[in-house]
Amino acid sequence: MDNDNQISIETVYSLKDIAQLSGVSVATLSRYFNGQKVRRSTEEKIKEIVDKTGYTPSIAARFMRGRSTGVIGLIVPDISHPFFSMIAEGVMNEARDNGRLVLCGSSSGSREVEKRVIRQFSQSILDGLIYIPVGEAEDIPAIETFRNLPLVVAVRLNIFKNVPHVYHDGEKGGYLATKYLIQLGRTRIGFVASFWSPPCTNEELLEYTNAHLAGTFSSIHRFKGYLKALEEAGIPYDPKLVAVTTYSHQAGVDAATALIGRFTNCNGIIAMTQIVANGCVSRFKSQGYKVPEDLSVIIFDSNKQKADYAYTNVELSLVEMGQIAVRTLDNLIKGKKANDICIDVTLQVRETTSFLHPRENDETI
């Protein structure tokens, strides 16, 4: 049987695909993979197609019908990042309390690595999966392997239909942060929107809030809250005060450099993470700004580890998010219904915010 023209090693094949290419039934193919006896001629045809396609049967599929393994999967963008490590801590604590083990995989902030991790997980013995995508879940064919496996998406929302999502109220967080800075007399508020892979430029960010996939990004939801607070206060939106960047200290430095270079007279900053905020602050300090007198800074984080400052932050309850994700997944594993869960946020005022006192010779304040 010559199927060379139909076969690509880049394609993710299902059991049904292999059966069709082999010219056998799915039942026969299942018997073959389960080690049961089939005709020698049939075995040779199947082996030929398996070799050509590189297909490996999903081990998880063998356990999905009424058999529990006691193992759940967790895929995060970067396990070394404090944000995701705290979620992982919550996942592992809750799983341990429920008598489950956690198989954890990190995407290292890369969509390509994420695809490989998903492919590897699809061959693992799992009762269910908690998935935190690097970005929008597009072009990830291997995720289809989990279509019959209990699946919960954390941190983001609107990734998959008919799958429960556990996420924070990002719009409320952006609103609370911006409103508080305005109450402190700060009207030139910079918004540093971070993405693993930025989907737009600074100039496009406002328009991108209406894009089809905008809802998959936490920074977009927070940005909407920022816009809402500005509008409520009668402050015109200024795109020069926006910086689209990634998640790193250098990204924060670059964002601050851009804001300074545009002569924005920025007196407040909202950053997505502590590490980005550290970069921003270091650059502003090099230009003579003092925190919080000249520049008040608010971040989205729960990280209480040592930092340059004790940042005023939108509390995200990350450990709790991990725990809730496991409870949601556990309901799915037990055949119960599970809905999206939006976790409330609060503003924790610390040392990086204060009332604005005009800088000497600053005519814009």
Whether 301 and 225 share a structural domain: yes
Q: Does 2 score more than 50 pLDDT?
A: no
Q: Which of 52-56, 142-146, 215-219 has the lowest mean pLDDT?
A: 142-146
Q: 14 vs 310, which has greater pLDDT?
A: 310
Whether 117 and 207 share a structural domain: no
Residue 12, domain member (yes or no): yes
Whether 158 and 228 share a structural domain: no
Whether 196 and 305 share a structural domain: yes
Cβ atoms 322, 86 nearer than 8 A? yes
Residue 312, domain member (yes or no): yes
pLDDT tens for each residue of 207-257: 999 988 788 889 999 999 999 999 999 999 999 999 999 999 999 999 999
Whether 323 and 308 share a structural domain: no
Structural domain ending residue among the three candidates 300, 316, 332: 316
DSSP class of 298: E
Handedness of CA 137, 176, 231, 201 (dihedral sign): negative
Residue 132, domain member (yes or no): yes
Q: What is the pLDDT of residue 108?
A: 86
Residue 361, domain member (yes or no): no
Residue 350, domain member (yes or no): no
Residue 359, domain member (yes or no): no
Cβ atoms 75, 129 nearer than 8 A? yes
Q: Is 117 exposed, middle or buried (0-12, 13-18, 19+ CB in 10 A)?
A: buried
Whether 132 and 206 share a structural domain: no
Residue 360, domain member (yes or no): no
Instruction: Output the CA–CA distances (angstroms, integers) from residue 49 to 15, 38, 122, in the order listed.
Output: 12, 16, 20
Cβ atoms 27, 37 nearer than 8 A? no
Categorize the per-residue pLDDT at 125 as very low, low, confident or very high, splitting at 50, 70 and 90. Answer: confident
Task: Name every residue whose Cβ is closer than 8 Å to that of residue 58 and which is 6 or more positions away in sequence.
Answer: 15, 122, 123, 145
Q: What is the pLDDT of residue 144?
A: 64
CA distance 277 to 313: 11
User: Is the entire prediction scored with pTM above 0.85?
Assistant: no
Residue burial 191-211, b: 16+ Cβ < 10 Å; e: rest: bbbbbbebbbebeebeebbee
Q: Does 139 score more than 80 pLDDT?
A: no
Task: Name every residue whose Cβ is closer than 8 Å to that of residue 338 and which is 6 or more positions away in sequence.
Answer: 152, 164, 328, 329, 331, 332
Which backbone phi and psi does 83 adopt, to 5 degrees? -60, -50
CA distance 120 to 20: 24
Element (DSSP H or E) covering residue 346: strand 346-348
Q: What is the pLDDT of residue 8?
A: 53
Q: What angle do CA 236, 171, 211 make, to 5 degrees?
A: 80
Q: What is the pLDDT of residue 63?
A: 47
Q: Quick one: tokens of 77?
A: 């963008």
Whether 156 and 181 share a structural domain: no
Whether 197 and 154 share a structural domain: no
Compute the average pLDDT of residues 273-290: 95
Whether 121 and 194 share a structural domain: no
Q: What is the CATH number of the domain that holds 38?
A: 1.10.260
Cβ atoms 132, 2 nearer than 8 A? no
pLDDT tens for each residue of 64-108: 444 577 889 999 999 988 889 999 999 999 999 999 999 999 988
Residue 352, domain member (yes or no): no
| Secondary structure (DSSP) of 107-131 | -TT-HHHHHHHHHHHTTS--SEEEE
Q: Which domain holds residue 16?
A: 4-57
Select from 142, 143, 145 the least CA-distant residue to 153: 143
Q: Does 13 score more than 60 pLDDT?
A: yes
Whether 209 and 299 share a structural domain: yes
Whether 207 and 236 share a structural domain: yes
Q: Give the chain's mean pLDDT.
A: 86
Instruction: Output the CA–CA distances (angstroms, integers) from residue 196 to 107, 109, 138, 140, 298, in the order listed.
Output: 11, 6, 14, 16, 20
Compute the average pLDDT of residues 197-206: 92
Q: What is the CATH number of the domain that holds 276?
A: 3.40.50.2300
Select from 290, 283, 298 the least CA-distant residue to 253: 283
| Tally of structural domains, the chain | 3
Residue burial 305-337, b: 16+ Cβ < 10 Å; e: rest: eebbbebbbbebbbbbbbbbbbebbbbbbeeee
Q: What is the pLDDT of residue 119?
A: 78
Whether 333 and 244 share a structural domain: no
